[in-house]
């Protein structure tokens, strides 16, 4: 599995396809779909703090499916809520080129940005993926964190 890190400013990204296997917002109370993405709420990363000694806001995500899948690509974006519009801050892409066993997770735990100050800022994550399942490309639409979380982490 390899992870690409991309830091660019971009406008909204949308995937269009004829077949989708997951359409939902991240909500632990909702029924679990057989093929899905789950996205955490934004949080200050203890792991990044331990490794670097710096505070960072982070979003974690994983993709899982009850069927064998291959060529899985999971993209996770970190967004800042703002006025007048929310804006993209950072994204990482995890690629799992081989076959992923049923119910195995393809994880992306590398999406974070370092805090520059302690200003209250609302953050959330967005994740989407594609995978080759049953001889066809399947696309998971954008899934958002359950909440936009205000955190003392300004950038």
- Domains in the chain (CATH in brackets) are 2-154 (2.60.40)
Q: Determine the pLDDT at residue 139.
A: 93
Nearest-CA neighbor of 124 among 136, 102, 98, 142?
A: 142
pLDDT digits (tens, 9 = 90+) for 114-153: 999 999 999 999 999 999 999 999 999 999 999 998 999 9
* Cβ contact 141:20 at 8 Å: yes
User: Which letter does DSSP use for residue 20 in this model?
Assistant: B
Q: Determine the pLDDT at residue 30.
A: 60
Mean pLDDT taken over the chain: 84
Q: How confident is the model at residue 89 (pLDDT cuts 50, 70, 90)?
A: very high
* Cβ contact 81:124 at 8 Å: yes
Element holding 49 (H helix, E strand) = helix 46-52
Is the pTM higher than 0.85? The answer reads: no
Q: How far apart are CA 122 and CA 118, in angstroms?
A: 12
Nearest-CA neighbor of 109 among 77, 153, 62?
A: 62
Q: Which residues pair with 56 in a beta bridge?
A: 114
């Amino acid at each position: 599995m390899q992870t690409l890190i991309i830091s660019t400013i971009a406008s909204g990204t949308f995937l269009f396809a004829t077949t989708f296997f997951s359409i939902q917002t991240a909500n632990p109370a909702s029924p679990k779909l057989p093929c899905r993405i789950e996205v955490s709420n934004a949080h200050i990363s203890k792991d990044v703090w331990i490794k670097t000694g710096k505070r960072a806001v982070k979003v974690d995500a994983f993709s899982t499916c009850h069927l064998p899948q291959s060529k899985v690509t999971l993209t996770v974006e970190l967004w800042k809520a703002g006025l007048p519009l929310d804006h993209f801050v950072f994204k990482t892409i995890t690629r799992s080129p081989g076959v992923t066993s049923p119910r195995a997770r393809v994880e992306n735990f590398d999406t974070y940005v370092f805090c520059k100050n302690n200003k209250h800022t609302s953050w959330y994550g967005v994740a989407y993926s594609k995978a080759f399942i049953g001889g066809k490309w399947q696309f998971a639409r954008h899934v958002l964190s359950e909440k936009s979380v205000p955190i003392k982490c300004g950038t």
